[in-house]
Structure 1
Amino acid sequence: MEPSSSNTGFFQQQPVLKNQFYDDVSLQRVTKLFLPSSLLGQVEPEIAQLGNDVLSPQIFDWVTDAERNLPYLRGNGRDAFGKTKSELVVTEGWRKLQDFGFEKGMVASNYDTNYGQYTRLVQFTRCHLWEASCANTLCPAAMQDGAARLLQRHLSNPDSSISPTQRRVLQNAFDHLTSRDPSKAWTSGQWMTERTGGSDVSQTETIATYDSYPSTASAPLANAQEDIPLGPWSISGFKWFSSATDSQMTILLARTSPDKGVSAFFAPMRRHVPSSSTSSPTTELNGITIQRLKSKFGTQSLPTAELQLTNTRGWLIGAEGKGIQEISTILNITRVHSTISSLGYLGRSLGVAKSFALVREIGAGRGTRLPLHKHPLHMRTLANLTVDYHAMMLLAFYTLHILGLDEHPSPSPSTSTITKTLTPPPHLLPPLLRVLSSLHKAYISKTSVPLVFACMESLGGVGYLLNSESEPINLARLFRDACVGAIWEGTTDVLSGDTLRALKHPAAGGESLAALDWVVNAALQSATTTPGVEKVREEWRGLKGRIERETQEGLLPEARDLVFRLAEVLMAALFVVDVSARPGDEVEGMCLRYMVRKGFVDASEVRGGGSAREELEMDRAIVYGAGNSKGEGVGERTGSRL
């Protein structure tokens, strides 16, 4: 016997995090279910390479730098003589990670590639892999994406009344938002929240006044090199939360008159300062003062600020008083980004947890040691986490499928399994997207948080540590960052209420219910002998009848429970399609487990169906994939040693 010391004795073997594009069983299934095989073969090499790149030591070094050296205001927002000078400083790691995202086209790929209705699915498969390695740079990218979509919609509208000058301004912004060149690419802010209310913008205190420049004077410029003028609207007010404080533009809400609703505006973040010097052009913030940076529980590398606007110049987007409709275009995109962010954190957390289970041993009594991946209780815990994760992946990717159809109404020549089975008639697409746009985020971003925590817990004490020296296993950081998903872009209660409004809308509510009815029935038609199908059908009929029968006011106190149960019905229906498309023991096992856990199948009907060893092997197949219960895989699986 020898005593241990700081450098001798037992040291835990380091787990290896594999390329998640191949190692994540759920990601593999949903890409094959939602993408045509020909398209998947076309994009697979690039996505697989991305799966390796996001696990590189360089990426994690940048993450550590971004987390350790947090953004700050130089001089606490003032110069040496006390004059206000809102100069935001971000770390090199943050800038490098943001540049990586630009170069890899995390946003641009939706605009400079054309896979038709599958473009969004391909884009968000890549975002899913990048999320847990990006140190929150995908947050400003989400708003960049939403702003690009909003501007694209206006620029492509032949009936748009925007002037030639404004069209040139918006086209210039769109080109920057969709660039892959880090020296040209922009992110965007999204300024809605004020002290009067978080997601409630009806009491907005930001005021916009039309203040056009005299025709005899040259308009001040946002960018002299590109000859881009500042807008004719003067905007003043106070914004309580602004993520993407280092962005180059923003879309914001302001009120133009007491008797109109809020309006949407585009505003450059900086403006040109005329100078006689021959040196580089000088710029300053466009009437914006960074009051202070927020100190947050998580997402600490992301600069979030309070902003004071004083004569900020901008351009009106759309009609006056229609700002909510305009901003909803952005929210449809940013909410999907929030959902994929939650699933990206959860997918990475599961990847770490199951890699750890392959190398960690525990006492099994009588002096024996047992690997965690052979421990029945531990594997049942990971299997249940995987089942919930897969269900949410199905719901998220189905929402992306509907979003892709909405953005690309012309059908693609090749079709996927989901396209053949669950593409609703065109007239049902808008009401279906309207209800899914809030439902998916309400359920997934909230439910993911305790699941990420469970993965952190599965590592024991080391999981609770902020492992910046071993950044890939820093699940404590991922947990803190994942928590915000249930808050920003609408809390769970706000989104549950929004879903209820969509379902009870006097004009469109019936169409939304009809769209959901079509989805559930079409999905369950593919079932043969899948357990729980009749109970899912019965549950849906009960939910539908209740929504039709009761008033919105009567349903509101239970809106969260109603929306969550609706999401579980949809996920059960999507599980049925998944099983029917590519049957196999592991997906059938996942489906059965889900049906039991959500009350669609009585546990007493299936308990005792197999031996303890068979149950363990099923759990390992669910976690690691069929024929891969020891962690070996098919295809390229290089990754990062943690």
Structure 2
Amino acid sequence: MPHTHEVVNQVPPPYGHDVAEDPAMLAAVRRAGAAWVLPELHGLGRLAGTEQAAEWGRLANENEPVLRTHDRFGHRIDEVEFHPAWHQLMTVAVEHGLHAAPWQDARPGAHTARAAKFYLWSQVEAGHGCPISMTYAAVPALRATPELADRLEPLLAAPVYDFGLREPHGKRGLIAGMSMTEKQGGSDVRANSTVALPAGDGTYHLTGHKWFTSAPMSDVFLTLAQAPGGLSCFLLPRVLPDGTRNALRIQRLKDKLGNRSNASAELEYEEAVGWLVGEEGRGVRTIIEMVNMTRLDCTLGAAAGMRLGAQRAIQHAQHRRAFGTELIHQPLMRNVLADLALESEAATTVALRLAESTDRSLGGDAQESAFRRLALAVTKYWVCKRGPAHAAEALECLGGNGYVEESGMPRLYREAPLVSIWEGSGNVAALDALRAMARSPESVEAFFAELSGAAGADRRLDAAVAELQKQLGDQAEIEYRTRRVVEAMAVTLQGALLVKHAEPAVADAFCASRLGGDHGAAFGTLPTGVDTEALISRAAPVPAQG
């Protein structure tokens, strides 16, 4: 081998750390009363930091799902084949209860514990989180029809991943999907044209085309269709109680920017059999809580991507030398890394605060429910919007090494826009926040009550809260200004949470840059005086113990 092939100044593989060594996440779990999950979190975190887990993620994305519409004899089968690595990822997720498990868990903070696990395992591979999230979110919608929930919820929450096309009650565990979007409507689901006609036996026959159905290999789907009484919600299984296949025809799989491991498809309903969930004409109201749960997971997914990107950038800078020293010691690179770490911690803190709010809301806390209604829309808009820019900057920290597929950074970059689009793109989420404020004034009161918990602790935060009140008091062209208003709400909430709960160096850096205006348009423009060492050290990967 010629001496020119001696490899020097390359970074070691980013494995062997405990992903759960995350100060912001661990503190949020303790605040929610879910410290009981910490041993499991660290076990999952150590697995997430292994080369084996990373290889599952790589293989699942490089070996994409394949649609088999017919068998070799010409029978219609509508099956989707997956690489074994996909099934490994799903098995770990289900066995650790990242799906619907918390709905049947009476321990305090069960939904926060589940959110923390979802956040950890999403850093391994994001695509399989989609069916996991939908299974979690399906339960509150199904509870609108108790007899359906009684039969299906135990299977949706079961810690068993039982892949295969069989009648739901003959399986040990179920995965749920959503089938909402149509060509003519997109986010405007009230424009759906799929028709549902009563069959006379308690079921309905659905006919129509769904333009985007994620995870078409799921066992059951929640969908919207026009019934005689108006837009309604229905449950459709892939296999009917008599063992025959339901008339859900997969026309093709979508060729997507990212999320390559997960199948997304166009479905044709040909008098497919479905059961009404909730009441006729109240489909949107029935499905809205499912949407809110998946919006929570969008925010968690964005925070997970930021955490992964910040860690990869820091790990690279710790080992890569340039201009006579490691990149981690270069002042400008430290500014970039600290800024990425700061954005990541702010996203993690607010996402898990919303998970805690879910626990409290389900426990009957009316103020928390009002807070969550508004804060979830606000945070979904902003945190998911920040993800792509954060991923691009983290990738750039690796230079050319980050631009090649082997680094994993291009996959992170392609994945980042998804959560900003899924469950309502930027405008939909921002306008939903506006709608919440108009229809539920108590949500505004609850939001400002959350901010008031940090009053007087930082003058920049106090000024931001006062300016926000001024913006909300001005209703002139409010819809035109919605994005600016919602952004201000989001960063002010993040600032308040960091002032209350984070290390002083983190809160000070956030208030100076995000609220005090001492920050440029790009990452890496933190003001002087910021404790970059404190920010970077909180995001640096920690070697796994044991």
2:489 is aligned to 566
Task: Tell me the residue number matched to 1:61.
Answer: 55
Secondary structure in structure 2 of the residue aligned to 1:247: coil
Q: Flag the 1:73–1:595 CA change in 2: closer, same or farther, 3 A.
A: same
Q: Distance in 1 between matches of 2:100 and 2:425?
A: 28
Deviation digits for residues 211-255 of structure 1 (CA, Å, limit 9, x no counterpart): 124xxxxxxxxxxxxxxxxx6111111100001111000010000
For residues 74 and 13 of structure 2, what CA distance do their matches in structure 1 show?
52
Give the partner amino acid of 1:105: G
Alpha-carbon distance in structure 2 between the residues aligned to 1:537 and 1:60: 42
Counterpart of 1:235, as a letter, is L
CA offsets 1:484-523 (integer angstroms, 9 cap, x no match): 1111110011111111111122xx2x22222222222233
1:479 deviates by 1.4
**Looking at CA atoms only, which structure, 1 or 2, has the larger radius of gyration?**
1
- 1:624 matched to 2:537? The reply is yes
Instruction: Find the aligned partners of 1:303 and 1:101 in 2 and give their Cα distance.
Output: 17
Please tell me whether residue 479 in structure 1 is matched to residue 413 in structure 2: yes
Q: Distance in 2 between matches of 1:298 and 1:331?
A: 21
Provide TM-score, normalisation by structure 2. 0.91
Amino acid at match of 1:5: T
Change (3 A) 1:504 1:352: same
- Residues 292-315 of structure 1: CA distance to partner in whole angstroms, max 9, x if unpaired? 010011001111000000111111
- Distance in 2 of aligned mates of 1:9 and 1:314: 61
Match of 1:590 in 2: 506
Does residue 576 of the first structure (1) align with residue 499 of the second (2)? yes
| Whole-angstrom distance in 1 between the partners of 2:11 and 2:137 | 43
Give yes or no for contact 2:247–2:270 (8 Å, CA) kept in 1: yes
Aligned match of 1:255: 226
Letter in 2 for 1:597: S
Equivalent position to 1:454, from 393, 398, 405: 393
Residue 171 (structure 1) aligned with residue 157 (structure 2): no
Q: How does 1:349-498 map to 2 (within 5 A)?
A: 349-363=309-323, 369-409=324-364, 426-467=365-406, 473-498=407-432
Report the AA paired with residue 445 of structure 2.
A
CA 1:330 to 1:9, structure 2 compared with 1: closer, same or farther past 3 Å?
closer
Q: 1:437 to 1:464 in 2, by over 3 A?
A: same
| Number of the residue aligned with 2:448 | 517
Match of 1:110 in 2: 102
SS at match of 2:401: helix
Equivalent residues in 2 for 1:184-263 (5 A)?
184-213=172-201, 232-257=203-228, 260-263=229-232
Q: Is the 8 A contact 1:15 1:355 kept in 2?
A: no
Distance 1:266 1:523, change over 3 A: same
Q: 1:504 aligns with which of 426, 438, 446?
A: 438
Partners of 2:185 and 2:322 lie apart in 1 by 50
C-alpha distance in 1 between matches for 2:454 and 2:144: 32
Q: Check conservation: 2:144, 2:278, Cα contact below 8 A.
A: no
1:637 equivalent in alignment to 2:544: yes
**Secondary structure at the residue paired with 1:20?**
coil
Seen in structure 2, the aligned counterparts of structure 1 residues 145 and 206 have a Cα distance that, compared at 3 Å, is same
Query: 2:32 is matched by which residue type in structure 1?
Result: L
Contact between 1:66 and 1:135, CA under 8 Å: does it hold in 2? no
Give the gaps of 5 or more residues in structure 2. Answer: 163-171, 520-526
The whole-number CA distance in structure 2 between the counterparts of 1:272 and 1:572 is 52
Post-superposition shift, 1:568? 1.2
CA contact under 8 A between 2:79 and 2:217: conserved in structure 1?
no
Contact 2:453–2:500 (8 Å) recurs in 1: no
Q: Are the aligned partners of 2:32 and 2:356 in contact in 1 as well (CA < 8 Å)?
A: no
Structure 2 Cα separation of the partners of residues 145 and 9 of structure 1: 46
Q: 3-state SS of the aligned residue for 2:181?
A: coil
| Amino acid aligned to 2:276 | L
Select 1:533's aligned residue among 461, 464, 471. Answer: 461
Distance 1:438 1:570 in 2: 12
Letter aligned with residue 568 of structure 1: V
The answer to whether the 8 A contact 2:304-2:348 is kept is no
Structure 2 residue identity aligned to 1:307: L
CA distance in 1, matches of 2:81, 2:478: 47
Shift of residue 199, structure 1, vs aligned partner: 0.9
1:110, CA displacement in angstroms? 0.9
- TM-superposed deviation, 1:15: 4.5
Aligned 8 A contact 1:288 1:312 in 2: yes
Instruction: String of CA shifts for 1:278-326, please: whole Å, max 9, x gaps.
Output: xxxxx55311110001001100111100000011111101110000011
Q: Distance in 2 between matches of 1:435 and 1:35?
A: 20
For 1:503 and 1:181, how far apart are their aligned partners in 2? Answer: 41
Candidates 15, 27, 35, aligned match of 2:32? 35
Letter in 1 for 2:288: S
Q: 1:94 to 1:427 in 2, by over 3 A?
A: closer
Give me the CA root mean square deviation. Answer: 2.4
Structure 1 residues without counterparts, runs of 5 or longer: 156-166, 214-230, 274-282, 364-368, 410-425, 468-472, 580-586, 604-610
Asked if 1:285 corresponds to 2:245, the answer is yes
Take 1:16 and 1:291, find their aligned partners in 2: how far apart are those partners?
40
* CA separation of 1:373 and 1:284: change in aligned 2, threshold 3 A: farther
Match of 2:20 in 1: 21
> Which whole-Å CA distance do the structure 2 matches of 1:484 and 1:31 have between them?
26
* Cα separation, 1, equivalents of 2:58 and 2:433: 38
The Cα shift of 1:10 comes to 2.3
Shift of 1:595: 1.7
Residue correspondences, number: 529
Residue in 2 that maps onto 1:222: none
Q: Could you give the per-residue CA deviations for residues 62-112 of structure 1, whole angstroms, max 9, x where no partner exists?
A: 2222112211122xx244566644222122111221112111111244134
Provide the residue aligned with 1:304 in structure 2.
264
How far residue 135 of structure 1 moved from its aligned partner, in angstroms, is 4.7
Residue type of the partner of 2:536? Answer: V
Which TM-score applies when normalising by structure 1? 0.78
Residue 638 (structure 1) shift = 4.2
Give the match's secondary structure for 1:86.
Answer: strand
Q: What's the counterpart of residue 73 of structure 1?
A: 67
Q: Distance in 2 between matches of 1:511 and 1:113?
A: 29
Matched, 1:123 2:114: yes
**Contact 2:358 2:369 survives alignment (8 Å):** no
Aligned partner of residue 557 in structure 1, secondary structure: coil
